Structure 1
Amino acid sequence: MLHPRYTQHLMLAAALLLTTCFSTSTKAESPEASRDQKPVPSELEKLVLPLIENHRGEVGVMIRFLPTGETFAYRADQAMPTASLIKFPIMMATYKAIHEGKLKLEQPITLKEDDQVPGSGVLTTHFSPGLQLSLRDAIQLMIAFSDNTATNLVIDQVGIEETNRLMESLGCDETRLNSKVYRRDTSVNPERSQKYGLGSTSCRDMIQLAELVSNDEFLGKEDCEQILKHLYDCTAKSGVPRLLPESIRIAHKTGSVGDSRTDAGLIDTPKGKIAFCVLTTKNDDHSWDDSNEAELLAAEIGLIAYNYFAGDAEAAPPAIARTLKIGAAGDLVEGLQRTLNVRLKPSPNISVDGDFGPNTESAVIAFQKQESLEPNGVVDRQMWKALGPLVDESEAIPTVAEIAAVNEEKLPREPLTGPPIVTCPAWCFVDVKTGTMLAGDNEHMIRDPASTTKIMTAYLVLKYAEDHPEALESTITFSQRADDTSGSTSAVKAGEQLTVGELLYGLLLPSGNDASVALAEKFGELINPDGEGDSYDRFIAAMNDTAKELGMVDTGYRNSHGLTARGHVTTVADMAILGRKALENETFRKIVSTRRYLVEVESVVGYKRQIVWKNTNQLLQREGYLGVKTGTTGPAGACLVAAGERDGVEIVGVVLGSSSTPARYADMRNLFRYVWSNELHLGNKSEVSTTGAPSADE
């Protein structure tokens, strides 16, 4: 039997719907007329709103101090992706079924091979099919370790529709479970799956669920205590718990996938519980390390809420030493730029515009060298410490003498020879036939390769096909894992089939991240039969082994597509080696020189459809360019590996970190013209410059 207060929540939800229908403001929302909610504290709003407004992504936040009902809400009714946060509602639906006698906590579940899915957790990576565990243990793994396989085992018991019916009965209209994890074929709403992924919710829905459990108003006291125990055991500490005092307990669930980060639950304080929910999506920062901006945002909001309601209300949030690198933006970057202009001698006089571009990176590297730090262009904790307090706009105005000295400072006259001015911090050109370095700048600077990574992905598949020609005609069936891959896409869906040879076009023309995963899954075990992990992991290992074999000494791969990841790096010199090697394969040459390609895919359920892939490489519009591969992410900037031919000589050029997509092509064309006009490709060495090429202002 459901708790009597469910009816009250349904009535409240209807009232909230009527209220919010008349407001589309993105400012902090006005409180509803409800006995459970009091006006938003203006002081809290002043602390939280600037963090939200400066975040590079969409944000929803709701904070409620349960003893008083004081509430802060920002876009609290907006539906957003849950990622693994949906496992909280799944748990509630499971306990409802247990409460009603439909399930038992101790009933055994047998793990089958088909149950094991990738991603977070331990059941797939550490246990074998045939393992028996209780439903209680599966729930614990689902919440404490966010185990995806355990989650699917629980969903098999309670059901997707049953979970959604419970949420509907509670008035949580935006909270929906769409499918099993990594099993898009089980979706009960494909359109919603496409939009939100695994599930969706709103901040208001999650606060309501947390409050029901906290107040023992869901099912009964014993059930709520069991649910809270699971939430207290959640091992994720990078979001809201991160900055809280160690003595403070937190019952919560997080979610992380692609461009979404979520966290919701309850903070225990000496003065009472704080219910919170922070939802973010379309985040610019997709990183998976402890500097992720969305997780830092959640941590700062959590600490502000704690200090306001239960700690030191006057305490300012700590200045978190965020890691900054190319692609970062905002007030912190402005502070970095101002500080570099003051602390670096001589001053680089970079623009204080809040955009971490090539000139800011160059200044960072110069400062790191000045302070005997690793010159990697990344502002990490060591560099923050070396920089000292950030220079504020309000610092003292320079003296007349200092201004006069600046007015006297001038750089040397523009040289009339040498490479052109470019926006990329690193570039090089090599002869395809001989491998001779024709010209370059910062050839061994560590850079993010972005989607130029896919050259290696294609190279491994085509290298295997040289000894196994039938591989290119073999059928590849798109997996859910491939379909769920974020970023640029081939538009092939889970369950659709095509040949490997066809999918290589989907990898290299539209730069399909999903295609790279599908190919890695198929070929990992074939290329690396003795490797560890699943087929995808073996493929990544083979990428790294091949890089070493080719002499790409500064390259490391962490994935098959090029999305930013710690340790996923390269240099222009290494990419030139790879570009030369890939061009030895005629199939690779044919694919990368193709501007458009039409393919017909067939689903395992029988339908057929056509897809047109367009090459992202705009240089193919001009005679003399042979194509290869583009790449773009925020941290990497705009990248390009391109081949060109003149006078019967083929050369490969690499630019990494151009300031924009148009700048990438301008940089590459200007550098090709420099090489060709000075006949460097014909052996003229009088104009060769391999260091110190000028770069454009940011």
Structure 2
Amino acid sequence: MKNSVAFLFLLLLQIGNLHAQRTDKALEKKIHAAIAEFQGEFAFYSKHLKQHKEVAINADELYPTASVVKIPILVGVFQKIANGELRLDQQLTYRDSRAYGGSGIMQFYKDSTQTDLATLIGLMLSYSDNVTSIWCQELAGGGLAINPIMESLDLKYTKVNSRTAGREEDWKKYGWGQTTAREMSQLLEKIRLGKVISPQYSDKMYRFLKNQFYNGRSLSQFPAEINCISKTGSLEDVRTETVLVNAPHGDFVFTLLTKNNKDQSWDNTNEAEILTRKIANIIWNHYEENYTPYPPVN
């Protein structure tokens, strides 16, 4: 009897090990080579969901989210929808007092324009619209409501700092939000697997995240027919991006975070943006070399 129990225990342990994460040494080597001369601080995490392989470089260090914080805001809004407090077709009225500047379209709306919550979410994610993002954050209950949701998802370092009581010092240091490369990748993975709020609401969030106007970074390195969900973020000395790719040989997810970047330019020759494209190119060709290999990025 004891031998049978011991055998069963070892069998279960072996099965568990089959699904344990393993470092993808070959990919890790390629990423380290790519970032060797980068003039800034860098954090990275990737995971191939089917192969159970990962690469983690400073993956648990805190970095500014920039506009990537709009994904936790999205989750906060959908939690309110699930609670019956909001509806996607809920009618709203834009007031020009909400104009904020920066990226986005709604700041150019006329005062008293009628809109709805689905439009706010679409603009927040597709065009990284700051007006609708702040509005969605408000409708979600702000950081005081969103941050506990992140904690419930075991994302204890991912926080909304802006307009959140008690997080003033974090806001000064990290800006609108803060996260780690590992946690932001995990959030996309959880949405992909239907584990955020419910499969129904995860599915709807996934659909919103597919529509990206700013597709010149990582998304430019994947064939157009390949489905992805993603979000970019930009500040003067910060570039961030998180992506999950429905690739032919299995989904993979990765997050690249940078800060204190020397190059603070605002065009596509920015060093961090070039690096982002290069890394996306490396990952695609690493896992999909038999599908449509892309040439080295310029």
* TM-score between both structures, scaled by the size of structure 2: 0.89
The amino acid of 1:100's aligned partner reads N
Q: 1:246 aligns with which of 224, 227, 235?
A: 224
SS in 1 for 2:280: helix
1:64 aligns with 2:42: no
Which of 241, 262, 266 in structure 2 is aligned with 1:284?
262
> Structure 1 residues 98 and 258, CA, compared in 2 at 3 Å: closer, same or farther?
same
Aligned: 1:131 with 2:113: yes
Match of 1:52 in 2: 35
| Structure 1 position 245, deviation (Å) | 2.0
- Aligned: 1:77 with 2:46: no
By relative contact order (CA 8 Å, sep 6+), the higher-ranking structure is: 2
1:238: Cα distance to partner? Answer: 2.3
Paired amino acid for 1:223: Y
Aligned match of 2:194 in 210, 213, 216?
Answer: 216
**SS of structure 1 residue aligned to 2:139:** helix
Amino acid at match of 1:156: E
Residue by residue, what CA displacement relative to the aligned partner does 1:555-578 show, whole Å, maximum 9, x if unpaired? Answer: xxxxxxxxxxxxxxxxxxxxxxxx
Going from structure 1 to structure 2, the CA distance change for 1:154 and 1:35 (only over 3 Å counts) comes to: farther
For residue 271 of structure 1, what is the aligned residue in structure 2?
A: 249
Cα distance, 1:114 vs. partner?
A: 2.0
Percent same amino acid among aligned pairs?
A: 30
Residue 297 in 1 paired to residue 275 in 2? yes
Q: Which amino acid aligns with 2:96?
A: E
Match runs of 1:55-454 below 5 Å = 55-124=38-107, 126-160=108-142, 161-180=144-163, 188-312=166-290, 318-320=296-298
- What is the CA distance between 1:297 and its match in structure 2? 1.1
Cα distance in 2 between the residues matched to 1:203 and 1:37: 19
TM-aligned CA distance change 1:188 to 1:121, over 3 Å: farther
In 2, distance between residues paired with 1:94 and 1:35? Answer: 37
Q: CA deviation at 1:233?
A: 0.3
State whether residues 221 and 294 of structure 2, in contact with CA within 8 Å, keep that contact through their aligned partners in structure 1: no
Conserved 8 A contact 2:281-2:297: no
Contact 2:121 2:133 (8 Å CA) reproduced: yes
How far off is 1:243 after superposition?
2.0
One-letter identity of the residue aligned with 1:163 = I
User: Which structure's CA Rg is the greater one?
Assistant: 1
Letter of the 1:42 counterpart: K
CA deviation after TM superposition for structure 1 residue 249, in Å: 2.2
Residues 152, 314 of structure 1: CA spacing in aligned structure 2 closer, same or farther, 3 A cutoff? closer
Q: Deviations over 1:466-488 (max 9, x none)?
A: xxxxxxxxxxxxxxxxxxxxxxx
Alpha-carbon separation, structure 2, partners of 1:58 and 1:313: 33
Q: Aligned-pair distance for 1:172?
A: 1.2
| Alignment partner, residue 4 of structure 2 | none
Of residues 233-242 and 310-319 in structure 1, the stretch that sits farther from structure 2 once superposed is: 310-319
Structure 2 residue runs without a partner (length 5+): 1-15
Partner of residue 591, structure 1: none
Query: Does structure 2 conserve the Cα–Cα contact (< 8 Å) formed by 1:300 and 1:317?
Result: no
* Structure 1 stretches of at least 4 aligned residues deviating more than 4 Å after TM superposition: 33-37, 312-317
CA root-mean-square deviation: 2.0
Deviations 1:93-124 (A, max 9, x none): 11112112122111122112221101000011
CA offset at residue 60 of structure 1?
A: 0.6
1:253 and 1:314, CA in 2 relative to 1: closer, same or farther beyond 3 A? closer
* Residue 39 of structure 1, CA deviation: 1.4
Residue of structure 2 in register with 1:38 after alignment: 21
Contact 2:125/2:231 (CA < 8 Å) preserved in 1?
A: yes
What does 1:649-688 align with in structure 2 at a 5 Å threshold?
none
- By how many angstroms is 1:316 displaced? 8.3
In the TM superposition, residue 164 of structure 1 has moved relative to its aligned partner by: 0.7
CA distance in 2, matches of 1:35, 1:127: 54
- For these two proteins, the number of residue pairs brought into alignment is 282
Unpaired segments ≥5 residues, structure 1: 1-32, 181-185, 321-698
Alignment of 1:299-698 (within 5 A): 299-312=277-290, 318-320=296-298
Indicate the SS of the match to 1:279: strand
- Cα 1:253–1:67, aligned 2, differ >3 Å: closer, same or farther? same
2:175 is aligned with what amino acid?
Answer: G
TM-score between the two structures when normalised by the length of structure 1: 0.39
In structure 2, what is the Cα distance between the partners aligned to 1:36 and 1:92? Answer: 28
Work out the CA distance in 1 between the residues paired with 2:229 and 2:193.
14
* 1:79 positional shift: 0.6
Q: Partner letter of residue 254 of structure 1?
A: T
Q: 1:187 to 1:235 in 2, by over 3 A?
A: farther
Query: Structure 1 pair 221/57, CA: closer, same or farther in 2 (3 Å)?
Result: same
User: Residues of 2 paired with 1:291 and 1:115: CA distance?
Assistant: 32
Aligned CA distance change for structure 1 residues 187 and 115 (closer, same or farther; 3 Å): farther
